Each structure stands twice: as C-alpha cells, then as structure tokens.
Amino acid sequence: MIELSELKKYAGLHVKSQQFKGLDPQHVLNSIYKESTHEDKIEGAWDCVWRKAAKQSLENGHVSDAIQCYNFARFPFPETNVQKESSEELVRAFEDHYCDNNVKKHTIYVHDKKLSFYTANLNPKKPCLLVLGGIVSIKEQWSVFLETGKKMGFSVVVTEFPGVGENSMIFQESSHQMIEMILNSLANETDVENTFVVGMSFGGQLAIKQSLFDPRIKGITTVGAPLNRFYQDYSNENVPFITRRTLSHVCKLDEDKLQSYMRGLAISPENIQRIDIPITYIFSTRDEIIPLSEKSFINENVSNLEFIEFDDIHGSPDHMDIIQKIVPLSVLRHSGSNNIPLKILLSTLLMMKKWKKRGGNK
C-alpha cells in the first residue's frame, strides 16, 4: 500500500484545485492516521475517513463537497473495498444531482473497452471543448467546465484517462485513439471539426499525440504533461512511488515491467515537430514527476508554443488561482473567440492575481 505521508502530500494538489463549501479538507486530512487496508471500516484509515466525510456532506446538502470527498476516498485509484464502493457512490451522487436535460452522460466502447463521459451545452454550431484529466483525476473532478462551457461559448465534453474512473481502457501506445472515438460519437451534436482540448498531466500527452492524426483538434492547453523525457528517463529513482503504483494500475502491468514499457509511450522529436496548432503548456520548475529536461524538449520542438512556468511542484498547486484564469483564457484565444467581454474579464483577473502574488512575495 502507499504510505500515508505520500498520500497526504500528493492529495494536497487536488485539494487546492477544488472549492469546498461546508468542510475544511485540511481538517479531514489531519484526522487521518492510518493507511487504507483491505479490511473494511478501519477507524482513522484514509478511505474510511474520506468516505465518512462524503456521507456527512451529503446529509448536510453539500453535494459538491461529498463528490470531492468520495474522490479522495478512492485516491489515487480504487484498490480496497471501501475505495471501490466510494468510487461507485461518487458516480451515483453526481448523476443524481447534476445530470439533467443539459448535462448528459454518454457511454461508448473503444476497442471493446467501456468509456463514459459527460457533456453539456451540446450544439452543432458551437465548437467543442474536451477536458481530460491525468492518471488520478476523475471526470467529476472537472465538472466546473460543464458549468462554465456555456459562458465560454462551447459545447463541453469531460472524460477520463484510461484506467481511471469509468474508463476501462488500458494506458498504451494507442490510447490517444479514445479522443477520436469520443469526437466521432458526437459528430452530429457539436462542431467537432473545431475541437479544443484541456489536458491535465498525462491527459495532455494523449491530446498532443492525437493531434498528430486528427485535424479536428485546433488547440491544446495542458498542465504538466509528460511528453518525451519522462518516458525516456523513467526509473524507480526518478519517479515517486505513488506515481509508479498508479501507472502500474492504469497500464495493468507489474511495476518491474514499467520501465521498458514507458519507452514506447514517448512522443518523438520528429513527431512533435509536425504539430503547428497552438499549444499552451504550464510547467512547474520543481515538478517531482515531470523532469526538468522536459522543458528543453518542449521549447526545442514545439513551434506554436505559449510556455508558462511557475516555481512550484507538479500541477503548481500554489498558483492554482492564476492557472484557473490562464486555462479558459488560453482556450478562448486558441479558438479565436469573439467573446471579448469574457476575455477582458479573465485578462483583468489574471493581472490582478499576478500583481497580488508578486506583492505577497516581497
């Protein structure tokens, strides 16, 4: 099992990316003092404490809090019985409270593997915004995009990485094809010929790889995507244990086989140099997962690049308030959106956040 100290460290990023209304997630974290086990209902255990907080949040009417608590109960992937039950309860809670005539759930099969995703604001005349998480983040975690898509002027699709949540695919060389199949399934419901992707971490790698074969993708925004060096330099010494365990899960491989397997997942310089669509890449200089050498690879090989970096760890959690403005603004710019008021608002808020951040660091 993953040690509790490592769980708490890496869950911190995802805690900061969410807005809790009825509870203090740090208080929940502080009340956990045991790792999850395959035994059920262990007091103080990671999965049990988060699941209890989820149920309490539901009773208090804080559905969004409950969903995030269920999310942390199953973090980084469902392994124990409690984690598996929490994952199922999470999906039910989301569907019961959020799926309606606008927010819909879809299920397709890619290479005989089941894949589910949510959509909102579907309209054949609106461009498509596809949001894809990494190896630990479920689609429900990014549901904010379902809410903001209408304001941005997009039809929105929120899905999951292979091996995560309700995506039963295996992470392999051809995994990027899931994006093609999702877009194909929505061809009559939104303007998939103008698709823009927000890909978090490993999800960004799939989006960039798919863009090599799919001209429908017109722009990509990613936060900390491993593209080449991560895979080429992969080793037990370079990659945190929690990441190795999670990759083992999504690849359905024993950890001792991952190193050679990773080599085949890298995007080559020759291939990435063929991409001419705009790519916004947010990089963390103290990233404990993505090596610093990835920065050189990106800047040397991506032609149409907006490269933004923060002095932070993976996902730049201490700059989340800024990133939450950069991401939608980059999508609007990539698409050439004429939503001038929203662009001005986001640009103004971004400048204010940056100014405040600089002032706070003096």
**DSSP character for 18?**
S
End-to-end CA distance of the chain: 42
If 0-12 CB within 10 Å is exposed, 13-18 middle and 19+ buried, where does residue 358 land? exposed
Write the CATH number of the domain with boundaries 101-360.
3.40.50.1820
Angle at 17 between CA 298 and CA 78, to 5 degrees: 90
Q: What was the pLDDT predicted at 17?
A: 65
Q: What was the pLDDT predicted at 360?
A: 47
Beta bridge partners of 199: 132, 222
Q: What was the pLDDT predicted at 359?
A: 59
Q: Are 342 and 152 in contact (CB under 8 A)?
A: yes
Q: Are 13 and 313 in contact (CB under 8 A)?
A: yes
Q: Please write down the long-range contacts of 355-361, taking CB distance under 8 Å and 24 or more positions apart.
A: 357/319, 357/322
Q: What was the pLDDT predicted at 172?
A: 96
The pLDDT profile of the chain, 362 residues, written as one tens digit per residue, is: 788 988 888 876 667 667 788 899 888 998 999 877 777 778 899 999 999 999 999 999 999 999 999 999 999 999 999 999 999 999 999 999 999 999 999 999 998 999 999 999 999 999 999 999 999 999 998 889 998 988 999 999 999 999 999 999 999 999 999 999 999 999 999 999 999 999 999 999 999 999 999 999 999 999 999 999 999 999 999 999 999 999 999 999 999 999 999 999 999 999 999 999 999 999 999 999 999 999 999 999 999 999 999 999 888 888 888 999 999 999 999 999 999 999 999 999 998 887 776 654 43
- Written as one string, the DSSP assignment of 262-306 is HHTTPPPHHHHTT--S-EEEEEETT-SSS-THHHHHHHHH-SSEE
Parse the chain into domains and list their residue ranges: 4-97, 101-360
Q: Are 333 and 221 in contact (CB under 8 A)?
A: no
**Cα(223)–Cα(322) distance, integer angstroms:** 12
